[in-house]
Amino acid sequence: MIYSVRDLHFQYWLDLIPVPALRGVSLDIDSGESVVLSGPSGSGKSTLLSLLGLIEGVQGGSLKFLGQEFAVLSEKKKNDIRRFQIGFIFQNFQLFPTLTAEENVEYFLIRQGVPSLERKKRVKHALEAVGLWDRRSHRPNELSGGQRQRVAIARAAAKRPKVILADEPTASLDQKTGGEILQMLDQLRGEFGTTLIIASHDPLVIERAGRVFQLMDGKEVNL
């Protein structure tokens, strides 16, 4: 089991007014699974992803990552998990605009302390896998939306994380490019046993999901 979530609650604060985002979510995810978090806008998908990514703190309930309770993890341990075990693919890509595709992919590997030779190997492998090795010297503004998303996937993949968290990875892409992106994520799962957790309400994504976890107003609903 990679994640075990019980009765998770989370609220934001806006001008001293609480905004409930998760209202009792329970969910187990096995290693190597492919899970889509679905639901309409505002249902809590991104919030749940940021808790699974150890970006937001647990306010109520329990969240275990590989059997370790989030609440008792030290900051250092949480940082290590984020750095080594979790790959993020954000909705707006969040690539570094001044770095080339190659440098973007390499960046986290440098932070992980991966030795230079191994780093070059992984960067090449990841960029080849997403079909962008010949564009490695391009900066994000010299790439299309689909290509940027592929760089973001390569960047997450090169880390060889246990889990990839992707927030609406197909939202800004046409259907064909979106399909290719999903295929690449599946390939990663096949090659490295990476657990995939994708927040999306795109029918294309839901259709291909191993399992759909349906959210509504911060809670699971059964359709």
Residues in contact with Mg ion by the rule CB under 5 A: 45-46
Q: Which of 25, 33, 45, 143 binds ligand ADP (CB under 6 A)?
A: 45
Position 12 contacts ligand ADP (CB under 6 A): yes
**Total number of residues binding ligand ADP (CB under 6 A)?**
12
Q: Which of 74, 34, 36, 40 is nearest to 54 (CA)?
A: 74
- At residue 111, the 3 state secondary structure works out as helix
Q: Is the dihedral of CA 133, 79, 183, 1 positive or negative?
A: positive
Q: Which of 47, 104, 195, 200 binds ligand ADP (CB under 6 A)?
A: 47
Window of 11-19, 56-64, 77-85, 116-124 that interacts with ligand ADP by CB under 6 A = 11-19
Q: Which of 205, 203, 185, 204 is nearest to 195 (CA)?
A: 185
Position 19 contacts ligand ADP (CB under 6 A): yes
d(CA 94, CA 107): 13
Block residue for tokens 């089991």: 1
Shortest distance (Å) from residue 84 CB to ligand ADP: 25
Shortest distance (Å) from residue 167 CB to ligand ADP: 7
Partner interacting with residue 141 (select from Mg ion, ligand ADP, none; CB below 5-8 Å by kind): none
Tokens of 31: 């290693």
Window of 13-21, 117-125, 148-156, 170-178 that interacts with ligand ADP by CB under 6 A = 13-21
Partner interacting with residue 42 (select from Mg ion, ligand ADP, none; CB below 5-8 Å by kind): ligand ADP
Position 46 contacts ligand ADP (CB under 6 A): yes
Measured from the CB atom, is 102 or 167 closer to Mg ion? 167
| Range 126-134, long-range pairs (CB < 8 A, 24+ positions) | 126/154, 126/155, 126/157, 126/158, 127/101, 127/102, 127/151, 127/154, 129/154, 129/157, 129/184, 129/187, 129/188, 130/154, 130/157, 130/184, 132/101
Window of 37-45, 59-67, 156-164, 176-184 that interacts with ligand ADP by CB under 6 A = 37-45
Window of 34-42, 71-79, 92-100, 151-159 that interacts with ligand ADP by CB under 6 A = 34-42
Query: What single-letter amino acid sits at 2?
Result: I
DSSP code of residue 141: G
Q: Give every CB contact of residue 123 below 8 A, 6+ residues apart in sequence.
A: 102, 105, 106, 109, 136, 154, 158
Partner interacting with residue 73 (select from ligand ADP, Mg ion, none; CB below 5-8 Å by kind): none
Interacting residues with ligand ADP (CB under 6 A): 12, 14, 19, 21, 39, 41-47
